[in-house]
Amino acid sequence: MCLILVILFPKTKPTMRTKVYIFVLFIASLLVWSCNNEPMKENRAYTYLALGDSYTIGESVLEKERFPVQLVDSLEGYNLTFGAPKIIATTGWTTDELAAGIEDTTLQPPYDLVTLLIGVNNQYRGRSVENYRDEFVALLQQAIDFAGGHPEQVVVVSIPDWGVTPFAEGRDREQIAKEIDQYNRVNKEESFKVGTGYVDVTPISREAASDSTLVAEDGLHPSGKMYARWVELLIPEVQKRLTKK
């Protein structure tokens, strides 16, 4: 902030006063010069860490179609500038495998935004919901730590329902849906407990039952079009959280 000084000279100017006024005028001139020549502060790009599995790394879609990449590109239109997202995710990862992947990765926290989407492979491998809760809670706390201890800068994304995809043909789709819902109840409950954001993309994923354009060519993972739908839900959630920083 620049300070503007207004100096009023009296009609009578004793020698000592004159010297004082000259000195004050000199200081004021320096302040004005400093204000006019103050360098403009550059807008720092936000940092983003995306943690997950195939749904985060974007299996079977182009890199530009991954939801973390689409998200940062879309936020540009809301005057929220991001650097390239840091993604820790691999197709097939369970909660414990994501934890191991994090351990093996060099990170530079704090991050302005962290997203966490994990659990589908726990369900696919038949692991218990109780085991998922324990390992998810640990990952969620890590995500908060990566966000500088600010849970409001973390957004959990629900697990999509792969049971509606062509890959699930011949399987018990209703049972898959039931188990996915159980897992999502856990991650939603735990997210709300600590005050992170939560975005439910599961209803969108179930639209793939009647819209094949929402499924990638592999018949299992989301297409870029579905990820774009996720981003539509993520934008307001991220926007309100970052504008409070």
User: How many Å apart are CA 179 and CA 193, to the nearest integer?
Assistant: 21
Q: Does residue 32 lie within any of the structural domains?
A: no
Quote the pLDDT of residue 238.
97
H or E segment at 51? strand 48-52
Are residues 229 and 147 in contact, defined by beta-carbon separation less than 8 angstroms? no
Q: Does residue 9 lie within any of the structural domains?
A: no
Q: What is the pLDDT of residues 86-129, one digit of tens each?
A: 999 999 999 999 999 999 999 999 999 999 999 999 999 999 99
Report residues of the chain scoring pLDDT below 50: 1-9, 20, 24, 31-42
Quote the pLDDT of residue 44.
77
Instruction: Say how many CA atoms lie within 13 Å of 186 toward its Cβ.
Output: 24
Q: Does residue 13 lie within any of the structural domains?
A: no
Q: Does residue 15 lie within any of the structural domains?
A: no
Quote the pLDDT of residue 1.
45
CATH of residue 74: 3.40.50.1110
User: How many Å apart are CA 194 and CA 187, to the nearest integer?
Assistant: 11
User: How many Å apart are CA 147 and CA 162, to the nearest integer?
Assistant: 30
Q: Does residue 166 lie within any of the structural domains?
A: yes
User: How many Å apart are CA 124 and CA 141, to the nearest integer?
Assistant: 24
Q: Which neighbouring-strand residues pair with 50?
A: 87, 115
User: How many Å apart are CA 148 and CA 40, to the nearest integer?
Assistant: 27
Quote the pLDDT of residue 34.
47
Q: Where are the alpha helices (DSSP H) in 109-171?
A: 120-124, 129-146
Q: Does residue 37 lie within any of the structural domains?
A: no
Other Cβ atoms less than 10 A from the Cβ of 95: the count is 22
Other Cβ atoms less than 10 A from the Cβ of 55: the count is 26
Q: How many domains does the chain have?
A: 1
- Reference 107, options 43, 46, 50, 44; nearest CA is 50
Q: Phi/psi at 48 (nearest 5 deg)?
A: -140, 130
Residue 99: which domain range?
A: 48-242
User: How many Å apart are CA 139 and CA 217, to the nearest integer?
Assistant: 31
Q: Does residue 26 lie within any of the structural domains?
A: no
Q: Phi/psi at 50 (nearest 5 deg)?
A: -110, 120
For residue 230 the two structure tokens come to: 């996720």
Answering whether pTM is above 0.85, one says no
User: How many Å apart are CA 122 and CA 132, to the nearest integer?
Assistant: 7
**CA–CA distances in Å: residue 18 to residues 7, 21, 25, 161, 182:** 12, 5, 10, 82, 82
